């Protein structure tokens, strides 16, 4: 990156009587971060040049020269040979200046009928569309990982919790399918967000449109946008799509932070429900015995920065009058960091989740402790004609006795149980088993192994439609 005290910008310096202050040039420049959108900037310029030629603003020869020049610049950038310059402020002017350097006066015609205001809005949308398409695939990969583990663990019994206290037995597959529901919603939200990204602002020019006979439908079609935007003032100032994306990302991170929290608990010696392969963990420099679940912890931690970016973008746009304001240049860093953070977090989870191994015996033992079939006993009593509230009372007393004795309901004798409710018969032990308990919840959305398998099949059919 060149950064000298040399003269102000050639692209807009005409009305200035002194060069811009060197610090101000650096302070206002965005090229260090917006060069990330170089490919999209070139893509937009190629479409713009084609459109200008088709409406007679450029000759076909000029169009071809521009397209050729831009193709060469693209290669320079890809090879890392492009000389980015802070004096040229941003990605747009760096590329345009280089084009003029290469092809002369024709390069100066590319900016006809557009402004950096609609250009940057177009570039971000193109960039976001590319990233969203990648993220949608990554979400699908994550979802497939969850489904494959859920299928394997359809019969695995673990305690289900409320208030982090043992509540009722569930299957591990069912728990994982809850995660799947979250990702499914995330996928739908992101896809919906893409609709509002995929609209073309180019043609709004600075704010009011342009006097050239531009064909915005053509440019939209060339760039794969759904349609052109309908109001030039809104086109250059709208950043809703960036806020929507970041809020979608924040929700995805929130989901991942919840799974992270569960994984961190489950790998602990106290729970010992799952095993995470060593490649997703790290050790301690002082405690030789340690194996830490760093990947989930880090994803949990990174959730915070994405929430921060959402707040930055909302605040950036708050009270901003129409149309373009330099404030808007501040949208990029939060947006880019959101993309990077989300990509890394999704990738790590998509790799790690299918590699989780369950500690079935520990899960089972934990479900057996904690009176997790107490509700089943109450339901059994209801089946014998007892009103639910009375059944609740009877079972409560039985649990109190069990706590005193250090014994689970299934470990009591029939006589002991009958001491709490005379209507209890020997078949009670069928419902007091963990297997009986989960198998009985056999309806759509229930924890029965058969329902878990049905849910996996349903989700797989959903994914196959994508």
Q: Closest approach of Cβ 55 to ligand ARG, in Å?
A: 24
Out of 9, 20, 25, 30, the residue judged to bind ligand ARG by CB under 6 A: 30
> Tokens 């196959």 map to which residue?
464
Q: What is the per-residue binding string for ligand ARG in 149-188, x denoting contact by CB under 6 A?
A: ----------------------------------------
Out of 62, 87, 90, 244, the residue judged to bind ligand ARG by CB under 6 A: 90
Q: Which stretch binds ligand ARG (CB under 6 A): 59-67, 113-121, 189-197, 306-314?
A: 113-121
Out of 50, 74, 111, 116, the residue judged to bind ligand ARG by CB under 6 A: 116
Q: Which is nearer to ligand ARG, 127 or 172 (CB)?
A: 127
Q: Closest approach of Cβ 41 to ligand ARG, in Å?
A: 10
Q: Which is nearer to ligand ARG, 328 or 447 (CB)?
A: 328
Residues 6+ apart with CB under 8 A from 232: 118, 203, 204, 205, 207, 208, 209, 323
Q: Closest approach of Cβ 44 to ligand ARG, in Å?
A: 13
Distance, CA of 298 to CA of 263 (rounded, Å): 12
Distance, CA of 413 to CA of 84 (rounded, Å): 81
Q: What is the per-residue binding string for ligand ARG in 326-345, x denoting contact by CB under 6 A?
A: x-xx----------------
Q: Closest approach of Cβ 51 to ligand ARG, in Å?
A: 20
Element (H, E) at 158: strand 157-162
Work out the burial of residue 25: count CB atoms within 10 Å of its CB; fewer than 13 is exposed, 13-18 middle, 19 or more buried.
buried
CA nearest to 22, candidates 6, 10, 33: 6
Say whether 203 sits in a helix, a strand or coil: coil
CA nearest to 126, candidates 76, 100, 101, 92: 92
CA nearest to 434, candidates 384, 360, 382, 356: 360
Out of 9, 25, 34, 179, the residue judged to bind ligand ARG by CB under 6 A: 34
Q: Which stretch binds ligand ARG (CB under 6 A): 48-56, 138-146, 300-308, 325-333?
A: 325-333
Q: Which of residues 117-156 bind ligand ARG (CB under 6 A)?
A: 117, 120
CA nearest to 97, candidates 73, 113, 126, 124: 73
Q: Which is nearer to ligand ARG, 116 or 368 (CB)?
A: 116
Give me 342's structure tokens. Answer: 């989300």
- Between the CA of residue 359 and those of 148, 169, 266, 297, 436, what are the distances in Å? 17, 15, 10, 21, 21
Q: Could you tell me how many residues of this chain bind ligand ARG (CB under 6 A)? A: 9
Q: Which stretch binds ligand ARG (CB under 6 A): 76-84, 321-329, 352-360, 456-464?
A: 321-329
- Between the CA of residue 240 and those of 44, 223, 245, what are the distances in Å? 21, 20, 8
What are the catalytic residues? 163, 284
Say whether 370 sits in a helix, a strand or coil: coil
Q: Closest approach of Cβ 24 to ligand ARG, in Å?
A: 13
Q: Closest approach of Cβ 335 to ligand ARG, in Å?
A: 11
Q: Which is nearer to ligand ARG, 203 or 449 (CB)?
A: 203
Q: Closest approach of Cβ 247 to ligand ARG, in Å?
A: 21
Q: Which is nearer to ligand ARG, 31 or 220 (CB)?
A: 31
Say whether 458 sits in a helix, a strand or coil: helix
Q: Which is nearer to ligand ARG, 153 or 331 (CB)?
A: 331
Q: Which is nearer to ligand ARG, 34 or 153 (CB)?
A: 34
Distance, CA of 132 to CA of 3 (rounded, Å): 34
CA–centroid distance for 397 within its chain:
47
Interface positions with ligand ARG (CB under 6 A): 30, 34, 90, 116-117, 120, 326, 328-329
């Amino acid at each position: 990156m060149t950064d000298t005290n040399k003269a102000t910008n050639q692209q807009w310096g005409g009305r200035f009587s002194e060069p811009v202050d060197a610090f101000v040039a650096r302070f206002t420049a965005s090229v260090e971060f917006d060069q990330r959108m170089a490919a999209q900037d070139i893509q937009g310029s190629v479409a713009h040049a084609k459109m200008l030629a088709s409406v007679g603003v450029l000759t076909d020869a000029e169009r071809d020269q521009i397209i050729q020049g831009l193709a060469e610049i693209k290669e320079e950038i890809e090879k890392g040979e492009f000389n980015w310059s802070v004096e040229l402020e941003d990605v747009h002017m760096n590329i345009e200046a280089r084009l003029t350097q290469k092809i002369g006066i024709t390069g100066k015609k590319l900016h006809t009928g557009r402004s950096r205001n609609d250009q940057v809005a177009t570039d971000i949308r193109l960039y976001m569309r590319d990233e969203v398409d990648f993220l949608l695939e990554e979400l699908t990969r994550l979802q497939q990982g969850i489904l494959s583990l859920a299928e394997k663990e359809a019969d695995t019994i673990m305690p289900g919790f409320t208030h982090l206290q043992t509540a009722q037995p569930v299957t591990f597959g069912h728990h994982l399918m809850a995660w799947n529901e979250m990702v499914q919603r995330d996928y739908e939200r992101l896809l919906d967000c893409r609709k509002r990204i995929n609209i073309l602002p180019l043609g709004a020019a600075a704010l009011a449109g342009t006097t050239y006979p531009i064909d915005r439908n053509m440019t939209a079609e060339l760039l794969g946008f759904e349609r052109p935007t309908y109001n030039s003032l809104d086109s250059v100032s709208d950043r809703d799509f960036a806020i929507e994306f970041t809020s979608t990302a924040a929700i995805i991170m929130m989901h991942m932070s919840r799974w992270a929290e569960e994984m961190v608990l489950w790998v602990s010696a106290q729970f010992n429900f799952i095993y995470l392969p060593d490649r997703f963990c790290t050790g301690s420099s002082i405690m030789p015995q340690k194996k830490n679940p760093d990947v989930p912890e880090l994803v949990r931690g990174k959730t915070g920065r994405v929430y921060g970016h959402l707040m930055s973008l909302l605040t950036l746009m708050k009270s901003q009058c129409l149309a373009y304001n330099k404030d808007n240049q501040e949208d990029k860093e939060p947006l880019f960091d959101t993309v990077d953070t989300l990509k890394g977090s999704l990738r790590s989870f998509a790799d790690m989740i299918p590699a989780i191994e369950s500690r079935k015996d520990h899960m089972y033992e934990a479900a057996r402790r904690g009176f997790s079939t107490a509700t089943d006993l109450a339901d059994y009593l209801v089946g014998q004609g007892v009103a639910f509230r009375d059944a609740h009372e009877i079972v409560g007393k039985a649990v109190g006795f069990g706590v005193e004795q250090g014994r689970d309901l299934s470990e009591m004798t029939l006589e002991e149980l009958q001491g709490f409710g005379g209507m209890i018969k020997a078949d009670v032990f069928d419902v007091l088993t963990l297997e009986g308990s989960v198998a009985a919840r056999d309806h759509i959305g229930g924890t029965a192994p058969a329902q878990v398998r049905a849910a996996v099949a349903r989700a797989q059919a959903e994914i196959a439609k994508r």
